[in-house]
Amino acid sequence: MDFSNWLPFTFLALMALAMLIYVVLDGYDLGVGILLRSAPVADRDRMVSSIGPFWDANETWLVLGIGLLLVAFPMAHGVILTALYLPVAAMLIGLILRGVAFDFRVKARADFKPLWDLAFWGGSLLASAAQGWMLGSWILGFRSDAAGLAFAALIGACLCAGYALLGAGWLLMKAEGELKRRAVAWAYRALWLTGLGIAAVSLATPFVSPRIFAKWFTLPALFWLLPVPVATAAVFLACANALRRMRRGLAAPDWLPFAAAVTMFVLAFGGLAYSMFPYLVVDRITYLDAASAPGSLKFMLVGAVITLPLIIGYTAFTYRVFWGRARELTYE
Protein backbone atom coordinates (compact mmCIF):
# COMPACT_ATOMS: atom_id res chain seq x y z
CA MET A 1 0.00 0.00 0.00
CA ASP A 2 1.58 3.26 -1.14
CA PHE A 3 1.38 6.58 0.67
CA SER A 4 -1.64 7.78 -1.33
CA ASN A 5 -3.57 4.74 -0.06
CA TRP A 6 -2.24 5.01 3.49
CA LEU A 7 -3.67 8.51 3.88
CA PRO A 8 -7.33 7.47 3.33
CA PHE A 9 -6.79 4.41 5.52
CA THR A 10 -5.36 6.61 8.30
CA PHE A 11 -8.42 8.84 8.21
CA LEU A 12 -10.69 5.80 8.11
CA ALA A 13 -8.99 4.46 11.26
CA LEU A 14 -9.22 7.85 13.00
CA MET A 15 -12.90 8.14 12.13
CA ALA A 16 -13.61 4.62 13.40
CA LEU A 17 -11.70 5.32 16.62
CA ALA A 18 -13.61 8.57 17.19
CA MET A 19 -16.98 6.86 16.71
CA LEU A 20 -16.06 3.96 19.00
CA ILE A 21 -14.93 6.33 21.76
CA TYR A 22 -18.11 8.35 21.29
CA VAL A 23 -20.32 5.27 21.62
CA VAL A 24 -18.63 4.28 24.89
CA LEU A 25 -18.30 7.71 26.49
CA ASP A 26 -21.49 9.43 25.40
CA GLY A 27 -23.22 6.05 25.54
CA TYR A 28 -23.03 5.88 29.32
CA ASP A 29 -24.28 9.42 29.87
CA LEU A 30 -27.11 8.88 27.38
CA GLY A 31 -27.82 5.70 29.33
CA VAL A 32 -28.02 7.62 32.60
CA GLY A 33 -30.51 9.95 30.90
CA ILE A 34 -32.59 6.98 29.69
CA LEU A 35 -32.67 5.61 33.25
CA LEU A 36 -33.63 8.94 34.82
CA ARG A 37 -37.38 8.34 34.58
CA SER A 38 -37.02 5.00 36.39
CA ALA A 39 -35.42 6.63 39.43
CA PRO A 40 -37.18 8.31 42.35
CA VAL A 41 -37.07 12.10 42.29
CA ALA A 42 -34.67 12.06 45.26
CA ASP A 43 -32.03 10.15 43.25
CA ARG A 44 -32.17 12.15 40.03
CA ASP A 45 -29.86 14.96 41.10
CA ARG A 46 -27.17 12.45 42.04
CA MET A 47 -27.56 10.70 38.67
CA VAL A 48 -27.15 14.00 36.86
CA SER A 49 -24.20 14.86 39.12
CA SER A 50 -22.46 11.61 38.12
CA ILE A 51 -22.26 12.70 34.48
CA GLY A 52 -22.13 16.47 34.97
CA PRO A 53 -18.39 17.04 34.43
CA PHE A 54 -18.19 14.68 31.44
CA TRP A 55 -21.28 14.62 29.22
CA ASP A 56 -20.61 17.75 27.17
CA ALA A 57 -16.99 16.82 26.41
CA ASN A 58 -18.06 13.27 25.48
CA GLU A 59 -20.00 14.64 22.52
CA THR A 60 -16.77 16.07 21.10
CA TRP A 61 -16.02 12.63 19.69
CA LEU A 62 -19.24 12.63 17.66
CA VAL A 63 -18.32 15.99 16.15
CA LEU A 64 -14.84 14.67 15.36
CA GLY A 65 -16.11 11.46 13.77
CA ILE A 66 -18.70 13.15 11.57
CA GLY A 67 -16.23 15.93 10.76
CA LEU A 68 -13.69 13.39 9.54
CA LEU A 69 -16.34 11.71 7.41
CA LEU A 70 -17.21 15.07 5.85
CA VAL A 71 -13.69 16.30 5.07
CA ALA A 72 -11.96 12.99 4.29
CA PHE A 73 -14.78 11.07 2.57
CA PRO A 74 -17.19 13.69 1.15
CA MET A 75 -18.81 11.31 -1.36
CA ALA A 76 -19.75 8.81 1.35
CA HIS A 77 -20.82 11.65 3.65
CA GLY A 78 -23.30 12.83 1.02
CA VAL A 79 -24.75 9.37 0.42
CA ILE A 80 -24.97 8.41 4.10
CA LEU A 81 -26.40 11.69 5.37
CA THR A 82 -28.91 11.83 2.52
CA ALA A 83 -30.13 8.31 3.28
CA LEU A 84 -30.26 9.00 7.03
CA TYR A 85 -31.59 12.56 6.90
CA LEU A 86 -34.57 11.99 9.20
CA PRO A 87 -32.84 9.93 11.94
CA VAL A 88 -29.91 12.37 11.92
CA ALA A 89 -32.34 15.24 12.41
CA ALA A 90 -34.04 13.29 15.24
CA MET A 91 -30.68 12.64 16.88
CA LEU A 92 -29.74 16.32 16.76
CA ILE A 93 -33.11 17.32 18.22
CA GLY A 94 -32.59 14.81 21.03
CA LEU A 95 -29.07 16.03 21.79
CA ILE A 96 -30.21 19.67 21.80
CA LEU A 97 -33.20 18.86 24.02
CA ARG A 98 -31.12 17.04 26.62
CA GLY A 99 -28.47 19.78 26.59
CA VAL A 100 -31.08 22.47 27.23
CA ALA A 101 -32.82 20.36 29.88
CA PHE A 102 -29.53 19.69 31.68
CA ASP A 103 -29.02 23.40 32.32
CA PHE A 104 -32.64 24.51 32.72
CA ARG A 105 -33.63 21.86 35.28
CA VAL A 106 -31.63 23.74 37.94
CA LYS A 107 -33.04 27.13 36.93
CA ALA A 108 -36.67 26.05 36.95
CA ARG A 109 -38.99 26.37 39.93
CA ALA A 110 -39.73 23.16 41.80
CA ASP A 111 -43.08 22.75 40.00
CA PHE A 112 -41.34 22.69 36.60
CA LYS A 113 -38.30 20.58 37.45
CA PRO A 114 -40.09 17.28 36.65
CA LEU A 115 -40.88 18.69 33.20
CA TRP A 116 -37.18 19.31 32.52
CA ASP A 117 -36.35 15.84 33.85
CA LEU A 118 -38.85 14.49 31.33
CA ALA A 119 -37.16 16.52 28.59
CA PHE A 120 -33.73 15.19 29.60
CA TRP A 121 -35.04 11.63 29.51
CA GLY A 122 -36.87 12.17 26.22
CA GLY A 123 -33.85 13.79 24.56
CA SER A 124 -31.57 10.97 25.71
CA LEU A 125 -34.00 8.30 24.49
CA LEU A 126 -34.61 10.00 21.15
CA ALA A 127 -30.89 10.49 20.42
CA SER A 128 -30.09 6.88 21.38
CA ALA A 129 -32.93 5.36 19.35
CA ALA A 130 -32.00 7.47 16.32
CA GLN A 131 -28.39 6.31 16.50
CA GLY A 132 -29.51 2.69 16.69
CA TRP A 133 -31.85 3.20 13.75
CA MET A 134 -28.98 4.69 11.72
CA LEU A 135 -26.74 1.75 12.58
CA GLY A 136 -29.35 -0.82 11.59
CA SER A 137 -30.16 0.99 8.35
CA TRP A 138 -26.47 1.39 7.45
CA ILE A 139 -25.74 -2.30 8.04
CA LEU A 140 -28.45 -3.33 5.56
CA GLY A 141 -27.36 -0.81 2.94
CA PHE A 142 -30.25 1.62 3.66
CA ARG A 143 -33.00 -0.82 2.69
CA SER A 144 -36.43 0.80 2.99
CA ASP A 145 -38.61 -2.32 2.77
CA ALA A 146 -40.50 -3.74 5.75
CA ALA A 147 -37.66 -6.05 6.78
CA GLY A 148 -35.11 -3.23 6.64
CA LEU A 149 -37.28 -0.88 8.70
CA ALA A 150 -38.05 -3.62 11.26
CA PHE A 151 -34.35 -4.41 11.64
CA ALA A 152 -33.49 -0.72 12.07
CA ALA A 153 -36.21 -0.39 14.73
CA LEU A 154 -34.90 -3.47 16.55
CA ILE A 155 -31.34 -2.17 16.59
CA GLY A 156 -32.67 1.22 17.77
CA ALA A 157 -34.32 -0.43 20.78
CA CYS A 158 -31.29 -2.63 21.47
CA LEU A 159 -28.86 0.28 21.34
CA CYS A 160 -31.01 2.11 23.88
CA ALA A 161 -30.65 -0.96 26.09
CA GLY A 162 -26.90 -1.04 25.47
CA TYR A 163 -26.58 2.59 26.51
CA ALA A 164 -28.74 1.88 29.56
CA LEU A 165 -26.35 -0.96 30.44
CA LEU A 166 -23.39 1.41 30.14
CA GLY A 167 -25.25 4.02 32.21
CA ALA A 168 -26.17 1.53 34.93
CA GLY A 169 -22.58 0.26 35.00
CA TRP A 170 -21.38 3.84 35.35
CA LEU A 171 -23.76 4.41 38.28
CA LEU A 172 -22.45 1.27 39.96
CA MET A 173 -19.03 2.92 40.07
CA LYS A 174 -20.29 6.40 40.98
CA ALA A 175 -23.30 5.89 43.26
CA GLU A 176 -23.90 4.47 46.72
CA GLY A 177 -26.79 3.13 48.76
CA GLU A 178 -30.23 2.66 47.25
CA LEU A 179 -29.29 4.20 43.90
CA LYS A 180 -26.50 1.68 43.52
CA ARG A 181 -28.91 -1.18 44.24
CA ARG A 182 -31.30 0.16 41.64
CA ALA A 183 -28.44 0.36 39.13
CA VAL A 184 -27.82 -3.38 39.58
CA ALA A 185 -31.43 -4.16 38.63
CA TRP A 186 -31.32 -1.76 35.67
CA ALA A 187 -28.08 -3.28 34.40
CA TYR A 188 -29.38 -6.84 34.68
CA ARG A 189 -32.51 -6.05 32.65
CA ALA A 190 -30.64 -4.04 30.03
CA LEU A 191 -27.99 -6.74 29.58
CA TRP A 192 -30.35 -9.19 27.90
CA LEU A 193 -31.71 -6.76 25.32
CA THR A 194 -28.14 -5.61 24.65
CA GLY A 195 -27.17 -9.22 24.02
CA LEU A 196 -30.10 -9.56 21.63
CA GLY A 197 -28.92 -6.53 19.69
CA ILE A 198 -25.35 -7.83 19.40
CA ALA A 199 -26.64 -11.22 18.29
CA ALA A 200 -28.97 -9.60 15.71
CA VAL A 201 -26.16 -7.54 14.20
CA SER A 202 -23.79 -10.53 14.23
CA LEU A 203 -26.30 -12.83 12.52
CA ALA A 204 -27.62 -10.31 10.00
CA THR A 205 -24.33 -8.81 8.82
CA PRO A 206 -22.92 -11.92 7.03
CA PHE A 207 -26.14 -12.24 5.02
CA VAL A 208 -26.09 -8.64 3.78
CA SER A 209 -23.83 -9.67 0.92
CA PRO A 210 -21.97 -12.78 -0.32
CA ARG A 211 -18.70 -10.86 0.17
CA ILE A 212 -19.26 -10.46 3.92
CA PHE A 213 -20.46 -14.07 4.24
CA ALA A 214 -17.26 -15.29 2.59
CA LYS A 215 -15.10 -13.16 4.89
CA TRP A 216 -16.54 -14.93 7.94
CA PHE A 217 -17.29 -18.47 6.86
CA THR A 218 -14.47 -19.52 4.56
CA LEU A 219 -11.45 -21.37 5.91
CA PRO A 220 -9.09 -20.54 7.51
CA ALA A 221 -10.76 -17.18 8.33
CA LEU A 222 -13.49 -18.95 10.30
CA PHE A 223 -10.96 -20.34 12.79
CA TRP A 224 -9.13 -17.02 13.14
CA LEU A 225 -12.38 -15.13 13.79
CA LEU A 226 -14.05 -17.66 16.08
CA PRO A 227 -12.51 -16.07 19.23
CA VAL A 228 -14.55 -12.87 18.63
CA PRO A 229 -18.03 -14.37 19.22
CA VAL A 230 -16.64 -16.73 21.86
CA ALA A 231 -15.06 -13.84 23.78
CA THR A 232 -18.27 -11.80 23.46
CA ALA A 233 -20.33 -14.67 24.88
CA ALA A 234 -17.83 -15.17 27.72
CA VAL A 235 -17.91 -11.48 28.66
CA PHE A 236 -21.72 -11.49 28.52
CA LEU A 237 -21.89 -14.46 30.90
CA ALA A 238 -19.31 -12.93 33.24
CA CYS A 239 -21.35 -9.71 33.39
CA ALA A 240 -24.59 -11.62 34.01
CA ASN A 241 -22.94 -13.65 36.78
CA ALA A 242 -21.54 -10.54 38.49
CA LEU A 243 -24.93 -8.82 38.37
CA ARG A 244 -26.64 -11.91 39.79
CA ARG A 245 -24.19 -11.90 42.68
CA MET A 246 -24.83 -8.21 43.31
CA ARG A 247 -28.60 -8.76 43.31
CA ARG A 248 -28.15 -11.40 46.01
CA GLY A 249 -25.97 -9.10 48.09
CA LEU A 250 -22.77 -11.05 47.36
CA ALA A 251 -19.42 -9.45 46.62
CA ALA A 252 -18.55 -8.52 43.04
CA PRO A 253 -16.34 -5.73 41.66
CA ASP A 254 -18.31 -2.53 41.03
CA TRP A 255 -16.36 -1.87 37.84
CA LEU A 256 -16.98 -5.25 36.23
CA PRO A 257 -20.41 -4.60 34.59
CA PHE A 258 -19.21 -1.34 33.04
CA ALA A 259 -15.97 -2.93 31.85
CA ALA A 260 -17.90 -5.90 30.45
CA ALA A 261 -20.31 -3.60 28.60
CA VAL A 262 -17.42 -1.63 27.10
CA THR A 263 -15.68 -4.85 26.05
CA MET A 264 -18.83 -6.15 24.35
CA PHE A 265 -19.21 -2.89 22.45
CA VAL A 266 -15.56 -2.98 21.38
CA LEU A 267 -15.79 -6.60 20.21
CA ALA A 268 -19.03 -5.94 18.32
CA PHE A 269 -17.54 -2.82 16.76
CA GLY A 270 -14.42 -4.73 15.70
CA GLY A 271 -16.47 -7.49 14.11
CA LEU A 272 -18.65 -5.00 12.27
CA ALA A 273 -15.63 -3.05 11.03
CA TYR A 274 -14.06 -6.25 9.73
CA SER A 275 -17.28 -7.17 7.93
CA MET A 276 -17.73 -3.81 6.23
CA PHE A 277 -14.11 -3.03 5.31
CA PRO A 278 -13.22 -1.59 2.82
CA TYR A 279 -16.74 -0.23 2.18
CA LEU A 280 -18.24 2.88 3.75
CA VAL A 281 -21.56 2.11 2.06
CA VAL A 282 -21.96 -1.65 1.87
CA ASP A 283 -20.90 -3.02 -1.54
CA ARG A 284 -21.28 0.43 -3.12
CA ILE A 285 -18.59 2.91 -2.04
CA THR A 286 -15.15 1.99 -0.68
CA TYR A 287 -13.10 4.36 1.44
CA LEU A 288 -10.67 4.77 -1.49
CA ASP A 289 -13.51 5.69 -3.85
CA ALA A 290 -14.85 8.29 -1.42
CA ALA A 291 -11.53 9.79 -0.27
CA SER A 292 -10.60 13.41 -0.82
CA ALA A 293 -7.58 14.30 -2.93
CA PRO A 294 -4.18 13.32 -1.43
CA GLY A 295 -3.15 16.96 -1.12
CA SER A 296 -6.25 17.76 0.90
CA LEU A 297 -5.73 14.73 3.13
CA LYS A 298 -2.12 15.72 3.81
CA PHE A 299 -3.23 19.20 4.86
CA MET A 300 -5.98 17.81 7.11
CA LEU A 301 -3.63 15.25 8.64
CA VAL A 302 -1.60 18.10 10.16
CA GLY A 303 -4.73 19.39 11.88
CA ALA A 304 -5.66 15.90 13.06
CA VAL A 305 -2.19 15.32 14.53
CA ILE A 306 -2.56 18.55 16.52
CA THR A 307 -6.23 18.21 17.49
CA LEU A 308 -6.50 14.55 18.46
CA PRO A 309 -3.86 14.58 21.25
CA LEU A 310 -5.48 17.72 22.68
CA ILE A 311 -8.90 16.05 22.81
CA ILE A 312 -7.43 12.90 24.37
CA GLY A 313 -5.46 15.01 26.84
CA TYR A 314 -8.29 17.12 28.17
CA THR A 315 -10.62 14.10 28.25
CA ALA A 316 -8.14 12.12 30.35
CA PHE A 317 -7.53 15.14 32.59
CA THR A 318 -11.27 15.63 33.18
CA TYR A 319 -11.78 12.01 34.17
CA ARG A 320 -8.75 12.11 36.46
CA VAL A 321 -9.93 15.25 38.27
CA PHE A 322 -13.56 14.21 38.71
CA TRP A 323 -13.08 10.50 39.37
CA GLY A 324 -14.67 8.95 42.44
CA ARG A 325 -18.17 8.64 43.84
CA ALA A 326 -20.68 11.29 42.79
CA ARG A 327 -21.54 13.95 45.36
CA GLU A 328 -24.77 15.80 45.91
CA LEU A 329 -25.54 18.09 42.99
CA THR A 330 -24.89 21.76 43.68
CA TYR A 331 -24.65 24.81 41.45
CA GLU A 332 -22.95 27.20 43.83
Cβ atoms of residues 115 and 97 within 8 Å:
no
> What is the maximum alpha-carbon separation in the chain?
65
pLDDT category at 328 given cuts 50, 70, 90 is low
Cβ atoms of residues 294 and 300 within 8 Å:
no
Cβ atoms of residues 203 and 229 within 8 Å:
no
| CA–CA distance, 37 with 39 (Å, rounded to integer) | 6
Structural domain boundaries, residue 69 = 22-318
Q: Identify whether 2 is part of a domain.
A: no
Handedness of CA 305, 308, 314, 318 (dihedral sign): negative
Task: Check residue 27 and give its pLDDT.
Answer: 94
Q: Identify whether 63 is part of a domain.
A: yes
CA 250 to chain CA centroid, Å, is 30
Statement: residue 332 has pLDDT above 70: no
| CA–CA distance, 228 with 240 (Å, rounded to integer) | 18
pLDDT category at 153 given cuts 50, 70, 90 is very high
**78-127: per-residue pLDDT in tens?**
999 999 999 999 999 999 999 899 888 877 777 788 899 999 999 999 99
Statement: residue 39 has pLDDT above 80: yes
Classify residue 291 by its DSSP letter.
Answer: P
Q: Three-state secondary structure along 231-262?
A: HHHHHHHHHHHHHHHHHCCCCCCCCHHHHHHH
Q: Residue 331 contacts by C-beta under 8 Å, 6 or more apart in sequence?
A: 106
**183-215: per-residue pLDDT in tens?**
999 999 999 999 999 999 888 888 888 888 888
Q: Identify whether 331 is part of a domain.
A: no
**296-316: per-residue pLDDT in tens?**
899 888 888 888 888 899 888
Q: Identify whether 13 is part of a domain.
A: no
Task: Check residue 327 and give its pLDDT.
Answer: 63
pLDDT category at 323 given cuts 50, 70, 90 is confident
**268-287: per-residue pLDDT in tens?**
999 999 999 999 998 889 99
Q: Identify whether 314 is part of a domain.
A: yes
Q: Three-state secondary structure along 274-288?
A: HHHCCEEECCCEEHH
Q: What's the structural domain count of the chain?
A: 1
Q: Identify whether 327 is part of a domain.
A: no
Q: How high is the mean pLDDT of the chain?
A: 90
Question: 111 versus 75: which is more confidently predicted?
Answer: 75
The alpha-carbon radius of gyration of the chain (Å, integer) is: 20
Question: 9 versus 222: which is more confidently predicted?
Answer: 9
Statement: residue 246 has pLDDT above 60: yes
